[in-house]
Amino acid sequence: MLITSRDREILRLAVPAFGALVAEPLFLLADYAIVGHGLGTTAVGALGVAGTVLATMVNLCVFLAYGTTASVARQTGAGNHMRAMRNGVDGIWLALAIGVALIAVCWPLAPAVIQLFGAAPEQAAQAVTYLRISLLGAPGMLVVLAGTGVLRGLQDTVTPLVVAVGSFALNAALNAWFVLGLHWGIAGSAWGTVLAQTLGAAVYLAVVVKGAVRLGAPLTPDLAGVKQAGTASFALLIRTVCLRVVLVVATVAASRMGQAELAAYAIATQIWTLLAFALDAIAIAGQAITGRTLGAGDTAATRAATRRMVAWGCWSGAALGLLVVAARPLLPGLFDADPQVTEQLLAVLWPVALFQPICGVVFVLDGVLIGAGDQRYLAWAGVWTTLAYLPAAFVASGFGVVALWCALGLWIVARSITLVRRAVGDAWLVTGA
């Protein structure tokens, strides 16, 4: 495939975005290693439970990044640079407000939330400690999301990469010091995360404030702007909730099949998630490029960039699928899977690989429509595709984990139909600021 100037622009945005996406899971593995080495199995389980709660909250708030990217990119493309920064500032104020609300709501509910996981008493107590301390970093975590969206909207994915690597490296260093050096227990790991996230947020605040001052954009909250950002974000929240429902239903179904099936599903899900990061990097480029070109009123450039990114997504998905097939015999050994789990995993990796090209198209078009500000359509599409998935998952749950992954594949195909149908039309090509 001949590399064009448009391809170079896509790669300029996608490659650093991919680095930022994979930085978090890599350094989270370091956190688990530190806690496991210093505190033992009980603490690792507590970290897993509390980490799942925190990850769910952050994933549900990812609209702060996506919505801000779209609005800032559109204003940038229209040449309204001060308005772009104003939208970015509003997004950060919204992030701070949601972060404070999470602390107020989740702090007293922490024991009840942890109890839902059915952890043993000692494990539950440590999970509550970790969750409550980590909640203090919620405003910082959400500001990082919004700040990332601002810079992506300004067509800068390098700075988020630098901040992500720096923050997660600092997180690992602080956790090692607090847990292994100062012997603060599970609380030390939580405080390391809070400090690292807060410092990362401070970097984003400094960058945004500097840009706002340079362009003369006010730093005080604009209630109308914050409300507008919240309204646009609500549709993205519905979309995200639908995604989480699908994954939760699949996990519950797998857990009822047996231990080997659940372990194979969990490993396959981790592999699929890692592959999704690579494809999501192209989607992030799609958000930034689409918002900018539509803001500039150039629908021809939007169409051309979309076609090219869809091609990149499809070919990247095909390459990742072939990689899974090639690595398939080696993957069970990497996870020290027993014979039963190995048998199930080797079988389930076939549908995981098969659906990667379609995943590539879905991820790219999802990013393009987010960049176009087509959140309402994405919310409705998410509801309908989830409703289509649920009966398929119910039927598949009686036929094993491979059938369950085929049901997930059906969901991916349903998403591709809704997204392609929208993309070939003109309703989403709304130009101007």
DSSP 181: I
Q: 373 and 71 in contact (C-beta within 8 Å)? A: yes
137-191 pLDDT, tens digit per residue, is 999 989 998 898 889 888 888 888 898 888 888 988 998 899 888 889 889 988 9
Q: What is the pLDDT of residue 336?
A: 59
Q: Which of 254-263, 280-289, 305-314, 362-371 has the lowest mean pLDDT?
A: 254-263
239-252 pLDDT, tens digit per residue, is 888 888 887 788 77
- Residue 198, pLDDT above cutoff 60: yes
- Which two structure tokens, joined as six digits, stand for 319? 């390459």
* CA–CA dist 411, 362 (Å, integer): 11
DSSP 62: T
The mean per-residue pLDDT over the stretch 219-225 comes to: 77
The mean per-residue pLDDT over the stretch 352-375 comes to: 89
Calculate the alpha carbon distances from 341 to 194, 344, 352, 386, 406 in Å.
Answer: 36, 5, 16, 28, 18
Q: Please report which helix (H) or strand (E) contains residue 38, including its range.
A: helix 5-39
Q: What is the pLDDT of residue 431?
A: 79
283-310 pLDDT, tens digit per residue, is 888 888 888 888 888 888 889 888 988 9
- Residue 2, pLDDT above cutoff 60: no
DSSP 336: T
* CA–CA dist 373, 390 (Å, integer): 28
- Residue 202, pLDDT above cutoff 90: yes
- Which two structure tokens, joined as six digits, stand for 277? 């990061």
* CA–CA dist 220, 151 (Å, integer): 19
For the CA atoms of the chain, what is the radius of gyration? 22
- Residue 1, pLDDT above cutoff 60: no
* CA–CA dist 132, 256 (Å, integer): 31
Give CA 325 to chain center in angstroms: 25
Identify the band that residue 116 occupies on the pLDDT scale cut at 50, 70 and 90.
confident
- Which two structure tokens, joined as six digits, stand for 128? 């509550």
The mean per-residue pLDDT over the stretch 222-251 comes to: 79
Q: What is the pLDDT of residue 275?
A: 84
The mean per-residue pLDDT over the stretch 330-354 comes to: 79
Please tell me the pTM assigned to this model: 0.81
Q: 203 and 163 in contact (C-beta within 8 Å)? A: yes
Residue type at 394 in one-letter notation: F
Q: What is the pLDDT of residue 203?
A: 93
- Residue 370, pLDDT above cutoff 90: no
- For every residue of 265-319, DSSP letters joined together read HHHHHHHHHHHHHHHHHHHHHHHHHHHHHHHTT-HHHHHHHHHHHHHHHHHHHHH
Q: What is the mean pLDDT of the chain?
A: 84
Q: 92 and 205 in contact (C-beta within 8 Å)? A: yes
What is the crossing angle of helices 5-39 and 138-153, to 10°?
Answer: 160
CA-nearest of 61, 11, 27 to 174 is 27
Residue type at 100 in one-letter notation: V
The mean per-residue pLDDT over the stretch 311-315 comes to: 90
SS3 assignment, position 233:
helix
End-to-end CA distance of the chain: 34
Name the region of 79 (left: φ>0; alpha: ψ -120 to 50; beta: rest).
Answer: left
Higher pLDDT residue, 73 or 420? 420
The mean per-residue pLDDT over the stretch 259-288 comes to: 80
Q: 215 and 81 in contact (C-beta within 8 Å)? A: yes
Residue type at 366 in one-letter notation: D
* CA–CA dist 180, 161 (Å, integer): 28
Which phi and psi (to 5°) does residue 391 adopt?
Answer: -65, -35
Identify the band that residue 420 occupies on the pLDDT scale cut at 50, 70 and 90.
very high
26-67 pLDDT, tens digit per residue, is 666 677 778 877 777 677 777 777 877 887 888 788 888 888
Half-sphere exposure of 133 (CA within 13 A, CB side): 18
Q: Which of 169-173, 192-196, 334-338, 362-366 has the lowest mean pLDDT?
A: 334-338
- Residue 92, pLDDT above cutoff 70: yes
Identify the band that residue 84 occupies on the pLDDT scale cut at 50, 70 and 90.
confident
Q: What is the pLDDT of residue 207?
A: 92
- Residue 229, pLDDT above cutoff 90: no
Residue type at 369 in one-letter notation: L
Q: 373 and 384 in contact (C-beta within 8 Å)? A: no
Q: 321 and 353 in contact (C-beta within 8 Å)? A: yes
Identify the band that residue 70 occupies on the pLDDT scale cut at 50, 70 and 90.
confident
Q: Which of 27-31, 34-38, 126-130, 344-348 has the highest mean pLDDT?
A: 126-130
Half-sphere exposure of 16 (CA within 13 A, CB side): 19
* CA–CA dist 22, 161 (Å, integer): 10
Q: What is the pLDDT of residue 348?
A: 86
Q: What is the pLDDT of residue 206?
A: 93
Identify the band that residue 411 occupies on the pLDDT scale cut at 50, 70 and 90.
very high
